[in-house]
Chains A and B, each alone.
Chain A
Amino acid sequence: MAVIKITEQNFETEVLKSEVPVLVDFWAEWCGPCQMQGPIVDEVSEEVPGVKFGKLNVDENMRLAQQYRVASIPTLLVFKDGKIAASAIGLQSKEGLKKLLGV
């Protein structure tokens, strides 16, 4: 599934009200590890069905980063039924992401 851009405008519809679990990658352009996390998220999104994948730029969406207490990036949150079901801080491998998603 294609990775979508999550913003403050679409967060509620795409993430909180999503019918399938959503993995959100909190990232920023200036963050070295985030540059490596991006392609790993892309790869996993091609392999894991039934999950939505999104990337949220913390520079452009500071309010959401604060709301979810993101203090270090990359932070990866998995939302199920509008709630955080799993989280990981710091760069995750492909296997790490799959584990986070329970697959």
Chain B
Amino acid sequence: MSEYDVIIVGNGPAGLSAALYTSRANLSTLVIGKDQGALAKADRIENYFGMAEPVSGCELVENTKCQVKSLGAELVTDEIFQISWNRGFLLTGRERNYQAKAVLLATGASRKKADIKGLAELEGRGVSYCAVCDAFFYRGRKVAVLGNEDYAVHELNQLLPVAGQAVLLTNGLELHAEVPEGVPVIEKKIASVDGEDMVEGVTFTDGSAEKLDGLFVALGSAGSADLARKVGALTDGRNIQTDETMATNVPGLYAAGDCTGGLLQISTAVGEGAKAAMSIIKFVRQQKKG
């Protein structure tokens, strides 16, 4: 597997803006995007610098993709499930795995949230957001994954070799993934996560219940904050904490755009992407020297 100088996860304004700078600085740059994100829904953008006529989100992103490619960056479509760090980064994707000296997280703000009674209260007491971190504690026990897409199946696959029993709960959503053989899928809507001190099970809205020792949340796709948490970056709930250079507490890991909170505007995302790129260029050059 070849190692890139920098991998940018997310192909919105923050990620693409950073790619402009890193590829111009001659860093081997890979941009991994899952879809168009929030901007695909913006028909008319009227508040961005330099546009005499309103521009659509898609047009803006597609133009920048062309610009980034012409500067030598690679762009691929893939979904990242996990990032781990050991003197370099390993990214686990749906299509393949990737390696990089530095990573920029720029997948936007996560807009999917489960609002189930008991879920927040039992976090860390049987409710987990990281299968690779916490599977160990559920050896031989019964666990469930909450989700309906490929990310949920990735988390299931982390748990299956360890847990005694695993089920998939979609919370009323339609299943959009291929579930490993033998794993039961319950598509009913969940009313509550139950347990006094530790998770004991879930109750569905039809009154039926399922006994569980652990519940792993993997709704939608892994957002920047999920990926950040797995690799050990500090978050304040949904936003990734960075310093003024867009660096997280993990050496070589940076974040920019909506996933850091703040204004949620294209202009700030582009600015943060540029700032992060400057820090990344400095970091990678130091790595190459040392």
Contact = CB atoms under 8 A, between A and B. Distances in A.
Given A71-B124, A89-B123, A93-B241, A33 B137 contact: no
A33 B214 contact: no
B62 to A, nearest CB: 35
Interface string A28-56: 10111111110010000000000000000
Interface in A71-103: 71-73, 75, 89-91, 93
Interface in A2-48: 28, 30-37, 40
Interface residues of A, number: 23
Contacts, number: 63
Interface in B188-216: 197-198, 214
A71 B249 contact: no
Q: How big is the B interface, by class?
A: 20 to 34
A71 B125 contact: yes
A70 B232 CA distance: 18
Please report whether the interface of chain A is mostly helix, strand, loop or mixed according to DSSP: loop
B137 A70 contact: yes
Contacts of B214: 71
Contacts of A70: 137
Contacts of B250: 36
Interface of A: 28, 30-37, 40, 58-59, 65, 69-73, 75, 89-91, 93
